[in-house]
Structure 1
Amino acid sequence: MRPLGDLGRLAGEGLRMPGGACQVDTLALHDFASTLRTLGSAPRKRLKVDSYEVIVDEELGDIHLIKIEKRKYWLHDDWYLKYITLKTPYGDYMEFPCYRWISGEGELVLRDGRARLSRDDQICVLKQHRRKELETRQKQYRWTEWNPGFPLSIDAKCHKDLPRDIQFDSEKGVDFVLNYSKAIENLFINRFMHMFQSSWSDFADFEKIFVKISNTISEQVMNHWQEDRIFGYQFLNGCNPVLIQRCTKLPEKLPVTTEMVECSLERQLTLEQEVEQGNIFIVDFELLDGIDANKTDPCTLQFLAAPICLLYKNLANKIVPIAIQLNQVPGEENPIFLPSDAKYDWLLAKIWVRSSDFHVHQTITHLLRTHLVSEVFGIAMYRQLPAVHPVFKLLVAHVRFTIAINTKAREQLICECGLFDKANATGGGGHVQMVQKAMQDLTYTSLCFPEAIKARGMDSTEDIPYYFYRDDGLLVWEAIKTFTADVVGIYYESDQVVVEDQELQDFVRDVYVYGMRGKKASGFPKSVKTREKLSEYLTVVIFTASAQHAAVNFGQYDWCSWIPNAPPTMRAPPPTAKGVVTIEQIVETLPDRGRSCWHLGAVWALSQFQENELFLGMYPEEHFIERPVKEAMARFRKDLAAIVSVIAERNKNKKLPYYYLSPDRIPNSVAI
């Protein structure tokens, strides 16, 4: 049928759908005719969108499914089909959402847009369609092990091997090599690249690559990074606000005494008494102990440390450091550095902590706990939930491009000899070792935001009043959980319905078996048995992909562009004695010019939103057509807008505004 042009042909082909939306009575088939309207788009690089209207004069009967076929022409002409609308002679409408690509010689068979659990399908042809869709997807979306001990990932060596529906519209837009090169060019730092292994002259010398990209926060960092208050603040509201915890007992491996730190204590209490009152906090980088430093460049030695940092809440309720030990085993060659030490001793100790924090942030907080975890949820969703399932319709926007960005990262960024190796001390395999170790601590509870905050003893807003990551995160978590509970309540009228939904249970089990490698200690559920637990589970999926990723990704440029505040590598080992550190030694320890430029290009590129970004609450692809769900979405957007207002009001006149968890800055999915 030519009316559809290059899009193909549309046909009912004897398929039947139960009455309802079409309101077709089988006794009045001779009166039935319909209009089928399709909306699709050509490949987006051609920027062309077309809609087609087809009048069907023949008698079709109750429509169960619609098939769309595309012919193959001599030109490459993939088509993206958004939806098909069917209008009956009586003025009724049926929506058939698609939002998928049709490539080459292909066909799609679509159901109408009403979400249905498997128990709702009583007609054989619908059961067969449901089963066939999952069988096809399970062949396309296969699990594989990228590295031993990692969560399993998609079985694809490169972006073009992925199913067309989950590829980026333009692979060029997420080419890491191209984007880093663009960043270096745009930041006017390419003139330093030829001096790859030469050192900077002093701290001010770093401004030569910084001045072109400064902003409010990064300028504050540049001007105040040496101050203890900024150092401590970053553990609350910087790129990696997930490590700090209240210290309930001083660890034996950090033999710090009251006498050492009494000049920092403001309440005339002993250190042990300060611990009892909840004023002492700790950040332990034990994960880095034993990790191999990068040896991919034989001309430059690179070093890692595994510091322990003790912090104190002073009378102004600010968190400041009071003791730093640069490795895990105490001893004469592993001194405890103090604010009372010589200026450069203390400064270099803090720089080592900041460098260690950067490594844990990039590889664990960011890569493992948002990117890789979200990919697991996405693969399991495509394998076990048909497009008609309400949970698929709910989650599909929150896994958009995640599998693609991770595949691209494995192809160019974190692979052997990839871009990660160029500037990072944990490159060359150290980042792989870190993920393997961190998998032991990746638990379901640690992804539940309120529980994770409470587990670190950081939940009291009175005791810790400036923890904006916590405050904003709790607001967003509750908004998402309210929304998921609304949707769950629409389709699951009881806990028993949840238990009996085999597709849902298979989805949850896939995450446990393949994502968490079947480790019971992970606490990931093998099944979900109540509506409340299902709502929580869906909240974990959405929050991890949206809010948590936003919180730890989009501040990278703000906090890491000033190289001394987040060195990606160190070129000398940690000091083993006090009183010997000089400014010249610090500069020689910091990254050379070339690695600084690579680092700067990386954090700039990684902090950019995608073109045409979709933010939390935005669902332009209407997978749901039911009014109750659309009303739930409207309430969700209203709740998010209220959070935006609260955050904007708080940030007024702040020199260091915290906006990473403002919903209007939270993309729906991990896509960068």
Structure 2
Amino acid sequence: MLGYGTLKGLHNRGQKVKGRVVLMHKNVLDINALTSAQSGTGLITGGGQVAKRVTSSIIDTYTAGIGCSVALRLISATTADESGKGKVGKRTFLEGFVTSAPILGTGQNTYDVHFKWDSEMGIPGAFYIENFMLGEFFLISLTLEDIPNQGDINFVCNSWIYNAQKYTTARVFFANKTYLPSQTPPPLVYYRQEELKVLRGDGTGERHEWERIYDYDVYNDVGNPDCKASFARPVIGGSKTLPYPRRGRTGRKPSKKDPKSEKRSDNVYLPRDESFGHLKSSDFLVYILKSVSQNVIPILTSAVTLQFNKPEFDSFEDVRTFYEGGIKLPTNTLSKFSPIPFFKELLRTDGEAPLKFPLPKVVQVNKSGWMTDEEFTREMIAGVNPHIIKRLQEFPPKSKLDRQLFGDNTSTVTKEQLEPNMGGVTVEQAIKTNRLYILDHHDAFYPYLRKINAADTKAYASRTFLFLQDDGTLKPLAIELSSPHPQADSFGPVSDIYLPASEGVEASIWLLAKAYVVVNDSCHHQLISHWLNTHAVVEPFIIATNRHLSVVHPIHKLLLPHYRDTMNINALARNALVNANGVIETTFLLGSYSLELSAVVYKDWVFPDQGLPNDLLKRGMAVEDPTSPHGLRLLIEDYPYAADGLEIWDAIKTWVDEYVNFYYKSDADIVQDSELQAFWKELVEVGHGDLKNPTWWYKMQNRMELIEACTTLIWIASALHAAVNFGQYPYGGLILNRPTKSRRLMPKKGSPEYDELAKNYQKVFLRTITPKNDTLLDLTIIEILSRHASDEQYLGQRIEGDLWTSDSQPIVAFKRFASKLAEIELKLTERNNDKALRNRYGPVNMPYTLLYPSSKEGLTCRGIPNSISI
């Protein structure tokens, strides 16, 4: 399973072993060059940098022609030298490398290589590679052909190779064998350990583009005090007050005005292999996001203001012009967008309404269904933030806020307010029969209300009470909106209760009350469900894995697909989305307190609770039931996110269980795995070091814990992220349905605002929620984030095909996993065709497809990528 056989057949000294090397040349005009240049002088300028790359490519072409551009040396896995290290063969060069200058769009190329190798050298298990060109290239693989009694030996590389002088240690790659540390062939032990030392680095200095060092840092790079005092932000992470997962360390110098903050720059260091591939369409998404945030949005908002001469929507029809009528832009504006692939889809060429957004799925069938109470509640279990709702188990609900600071925050809602809409069921009966639920956005938001309301935004802490009806749908009973006491926080909140209404001004008040709830939910979704609980929490796992689990370690091989592109998209987010004055701060309610709020919520993050079954149990949405297919019984049977998610969870867990038990034959193997134990210790104590409570983590002492941990991590990176990300535009593309801001307080009876509401509720509603320019920015960004790239790797797929391991049983098990996912997709389709399951499509007639495993490219509202890749 894990070893090499005896080498027979290479008897003659100097006999040649033939190999095939697959690589991609560095593209002269690749997207990384464009994005780097773009930050300098404009949208797609930067000719000087491009010229340098062209020059280096010409030199590389010449160098390649003389046959000494790329050298390889094989390393033995079975024969050691006097020091115990695997013997290293003689240097050999690629044959017939580059024969013409590379051009835009250059793809993979294959080259022959012949190694001098004989029986005294044993079986090759690794190789060194050296690049003597000025520019880098992307090494995909090496295959050694027809090794006696071995067949082909495959080395899966997928790594950038820079000029040899950039490295203090030669680049080494291993065959696709898989070993626990104790089972590593002795001649390879040194190379395995040295490679991990290189990846860990020494924790000092500023990192450079060509480096591959993984290290930790706090979030001290989202503020920009050197640019403007108002852009200063507190350090997030490293304290009990504002704990946070760690990000990748860049080593940039401190800012001048705040030594605790890192000086910002457009180009953020990433370990080189964490960067998007240069032909990857996601690179274009990176380019677009940069362009949108830095260049496009100012131009668009200016054009929109000029066209409409007003920053506000006046009616719901006015909102629909973004999709149906489009926005006319000046010719000079269009020319600036023409090079950007994404905008080609939005721009028409007939001169009429050239900028038009796709119609969000939530209004494709029913334009007004979003306004209904049923859709309002359905999206709590089948929308883009479907895992916050909880079963109400005590009445009235209490708060966990400190009473000395914030007074008594127990809910003020009464039974008399709820029971008239409960069909004769009392509150006590509803709690006993699992029919009372709550969407609680009180404790997270309440401490920030004074700060929020001191700005242009106006908000409430909210609690929404829900009743499970006989047909399986949820009915809203009441909304509680709370504000700080006028005198002091310690007096507790001032709360108002709003009840459903369908006629008159009370119906408009109710619509506004729902909007305040959805604004809170939108902020919670983006900052916590999406950013914190998927993007941010996964990054320390990536860093710890690369620092302590060798590429030949089975758990590294298991988890690798679920890390693809995550550090890259996170770095981009820190530069353009969650940074000071970035998209989130600009267009969402919390403004400059956005990341700070997520840090406060992170205090209660517990890793085992992120697994779907534990999450459902903790929220009271399910109870344990050994007779049920998943060991759980959902208390809302028609709960699309949970019902579909449990299918995916079980498939992942079955695959992980088979995989782990193939490599670990006993629990003792887990304890004795030095790399695994170092990985887990550093992850808990450093990567998530602000949450060291041992009860919040698996102890990693047996196979069960490893299986649960890996299943949970894969769930977070794949299905959970898919559920909270790819519905952003389908649901939130209609700003009426998921506003991100509230700018007015609820009108009081007898006030001019109340009278205005009675006359024109649409205008008041639109003056309360997200304004036009922010909507434009929201739509542009979330459409990009809701799209799948053309080369997306979905759950059940691997970019390496069957070559990721040489062990046949894990490959067969992985194929079973892929087949199971295909079966699940058919099952979910059948569920969506069952009209008795009303929560699966709702008044808007929008089936719940976010957990369908597969997808095509683009804006599909379905598909589970392996990783957090956008």
| TM-score normalised by length of structure 1 | 0.90
The Cα of 1:388 is off from its aligned counterpart by 0.8
Q: Counterpart of 2:122?
A: 62
Report the secondary structure of 1:69's partner residue: strand
Q: Counterpart of 2:262?
A: none
Cα–Cα, structure 1 residues 397 and 159, in superposed 2: closer, same or farther, change >3 Å? farther
Matches within 5 A, 1:1-20: none
Cα–Cα, structure 1 residues 246 and 221, in superposed 2: closer, same or farther, change >3 Å? farther
Distance 1:182 1:627 in 2: 51
Q: Counterpart of 1:95?
A: 154
Question: Alignment partner for residue 311 of structure 2, among 192, 195, 198?
Answer: 198
Distance 2:584 2:641 in 1: 27
Q: Counterpart of 1:155?
A: 249
The Cα of 1:144 is off from its aligned counterpart by 0.2
Please tell me whether the aligned partners of residues 585 and 594 of structure 2 are also in contact (alpha carbons under 8 angstroms).
Answer: no
Matches within 5 A, 1:283-302: 283-285=439-441, 286-291=443-448, 301-302=456-457
Residue 424 of structure 2 corresponds to residue 273 of structure 1: no
Report the secondary structure of 2:448's partner residue: coil
Question: Alignment partner for residue 309 of structure 1, among 444, 464, 467?
Answer: 464
Residues 441-471 of structure 1: per-residue CA shift (max 9 Å, x gap): 1101321110101111112656412211001
Q: Counterpart of 1:327?
A: 482
Q: Counterpart of 1:10?
A: none
Question: 2:707 corresponds to which letter in structure 1?
Answer: S
Q: Counterpart of 1:223?
A: 368
Distance 1:513 1:599 in 2: 37
Report the secondary structure of 1:311's partner residue: strand
Residues 584-603 of structure 1: per-residue CA shift (max 9 Å, x gap): 43222122211111111122
Distance 1:90 1:436 in 2: 56
Question: Alignment partner for residue 19 of structure 2, among 36, 47, 61?
Answer: 36
Report the secondary structure of 2:465's partner residue: strand
Distance 1:295 1:197 in 2: 25
Cα–Cα, structure 1 residues 197 and 624, in superposed 2: closer, same or farther, change >3 Å? farther
Q: Counterpart of 2:847?
A: 657
Question: Alignment partner for residue 488 of structure 1, among 651, 660, 673?
Answer: 660
The Cα of 1:82 is off from its aligned counterpart by 2.5
The Cα of 1:63 is off from its aligned counterpart by 3.3
Which runs of no fewer than 5 residues in structure 1 stay unpaired?
A: 1-17
Residue 508 of structure 2 corresponds to residue 446 of structure 1: no
Matches within 5 A, 1:183-582: 191-194=303-306, 198-211=311-324, 212-219=357-364, 222-250=367-395, 251=397, 253-266=410-423, 268-285=424-441, 286-291=443-448, 301-327=456-482, 334-340=495-501, 342-428=506-592, 430-459=593-622, 463-521=635-693, 523-525=695-697, 527-575=699-747, 580=754, 581-582=757-758
Cα–Cα, structure 1 residues 577 and 481, in superposed 2: closer, same or farther, change >3 Å? farther
Report the secondary structure of 1:84's partner residue: strand
Higher relative contact order, chain-length normalized (CA < 8 Å, sep 6+): 1
Percent identity among equivalent residues?
Answer: 26
Cα–Cα, structure 1 residues 295 and 289, in superposed 2: closer, same or farther, change >3 Å? closer
Question: Alignment partner for residue 119 of structure 1, among 169, 182, 189?
Answer: 182
Distance 2:558 2:12 in 1: 36
CA RMSD of aligned residues (A): 2.9
Please tell me whether the aligned partners of residues 335 and 578 of structure 1 are also in contact (alpha carbons under 8 angstroms).
Answer: no
Residues 617-652 of structure 1: per-residue CA shift (max 9 Å, x gap): 101223212111111111111111111111122223
Report the secondary structure of 2:428's partner residue: helix
Q: Counterpart of 1:164?
A: 272
Cα–Cα, structure 1 residues 26 and 254, in superposed 2: closer, same or farther, change >3 Å? same
Question: Alignment partner for residue 53 of structure 1, among 98, 103, 112?
Answer: 112
The Cα of 1:435 is off from its aligned counterpart by 1.3
Report the secondary structure of 1:498's partner residue: helix
Cα–Cα, structure 1 residues 521 and 320, in superposed 2: closer, same or farther, change >3 Å? farther
The Cα of 1:180 is off from its aligned counterpart by 5.8
Question: More deviation in 366-375 or 109-118?
Answer: 109-118
Report the secondary structure of 2:478's partner residue: strand
Cα–Cα, structure 1 residues 609 and 207, in superposed 2: closer, same or farther, change >3 Å? same
Question: 1:657 corresponds to which letter in structure 2?
Answer: P
Residues 80-138 of structure 1: per-residue CA shift (max 9 Å, x gap): 33233343256722222212111222642222211011101251x42211111111111
Please tell me whether the aligned partners of residues 196 and 594 of structure 1 are also in contact (alpha carbons under 8 angstroms).
Answer: no
Question: 1:275 corresponds to which letter in structure 2?
Answer: I
Question: 1:93 corresponds to which letter in structure 2?
Answer: D
The Cα of 1:189 is off from its aligned counterpart by 8.5
Distance 1:578 1:489 in 2: 70
The Cα of 1:540 is off from its aligned counterpart by 0.9
Question: 1:162 corresponds to which letter in structure 2?
Answer: L
Residues 33-52 of structure 1: per-residue CA shift (max 9 Å, x gap): 42222222223644321112
Please tell me whether the aligned partners of residues 22 and 140 of structure 2 are also in contact (alpha carbons under 8 angstroms).
Answer: yes
| TM-score normalised by length of structure 2 | 0.70
Report the secondary structure of 2:580's partner residue: coil
Report the secondary structure of 1:262's partner residue: helix
Residues 336-376 of structure 1: per-residue CA shift (max 9 Å, x gap): 00014811111100000011000000000000000011111
Please tell me whether the aligned partners of residues 36 and 53 of structure 1 are also in contact (alpha carbons under 8 angstroms).
Answer: yes
Q: Counterpart of 1:72?
A: 132
Distance 1:292 1:196 in 2: 32
Please tell me whether the aligned partners of residues 436 and 466 of structure 2 are also in contact (alpha carbons under 8 angstroms).
Answer: yes
Distance 1:185 1:208 in 2: 20
Question: 1:660 corresponds to which letter in structure 2?
Answer: L
The Cα of 1:21 is off from its aligned counterpart by 4.2
Question: More deviation in 506-515 or 49-58?
Answer: 49-58
Q: Counterpart of 2:286?
A: 174
The Cα of 1:666 is off from its aligned counterpart by 0.2
Please tell me whether the aligned partners of residues 608 and 712 of structure 2 are also in contact (alpha carbons under 8 angstroms).
Answer: no
Distance 1:128 1:551 in 2: 43
